Amino acid sequence: MPLLNFISKLAKLLRASVLPYQFGFVQCHSYLSDEQLDQIRILLESNDDIEKQRTLLEFEERFAGLVGAGSACSFASGRMAFYAFMKALGIGKGDEVILTAFTCSVMPNAVMKLGARPIYADMDRNTFGSSSSAIQNAITSRTRLIVAQHSFGIPCDIDLIVNLAKERGIFVVEDCAITLDSSLKGIKVGNWGDAAIFSTDHSKPLNTVIGGMLYTQNPEIHERVKRLAKISPQLSYEHQQ
């Protein structure tokens, strides 16, 4: 069979019966109709900035509503939301940020981009997320921020971590990139710390191919982050497509 014919038949088979995750990549729009895809394309190609902004605000508000009573600010990725949050807090050279050792490389990269120092703490063997006892041992006089990571939909012992941070005047951001809608003691993750970061890339619970959110119940933090988002450069048109 000629190669082009084989590729054509394979493409038809994929569209008809094979689920995207069977090939190791989750396509966020595999369930969307052609009409819905056209609506997205029309908005992308439109010069109506007011309509684009309205759509963005609605998306942020509806996402925030999934988490709690706070506000959300969208970014091109979860790492950018994390970076903007740290920048809003004024974290920089000489400061330390505690991360769980079992995390994505983009987290320490964002810390170092600001001139701060990532400090690793071991994960909890029961939750695979941040360990309060390991964090306690990692805290120094230079610690400005603790990243409390919830892994695989399992809340970490965030209540103990928050109490530990409050005693020492340290900020807490929850890393909810791979945990959405889980709860601890009746409180959804994302509502325990000073803020929370979410990712909506192709491998995450809520999938928009790329994207991320900074969620917080603190209006001052939200406004600071929102201002940073407004002055941040936009993705190229090709990247958006």
204 has catalytic annotation: yes
Q: Is the dihedral of CA 64, 65, 67, 69 positive or negative?
A: positive
Q: Of residues 52, 93, 204, 226, which has the active-site annotation?
A: 204
Hey, is 186 helix, strand or coil? coil
Q: Nearest 5°: CA angle at 24, between 19 and 29?
A: 50
Residue with tokens 């969208």: 74
Whole-angstrom distance, CA of residue 171 vs CA of residue 226: 19
Phi first, then psi: what are they for 24, rounded to 5°? 80, 10
Name the residue among 114, 219, 221, 100 with its Cα closest to residue 150. Answer: 100
- DSSP for 97-166, written as a single string: EEEESSS-THHHHHHHHTT-EEEEEPBPTTTSSB-HHHHHHH--TTEEEEEEE-BTTB--SHHHHHHHHH
- Token couple for 214: 């900074």
Count of positions (residues) in the chain: 241
**Active-site residue numbers?**
204
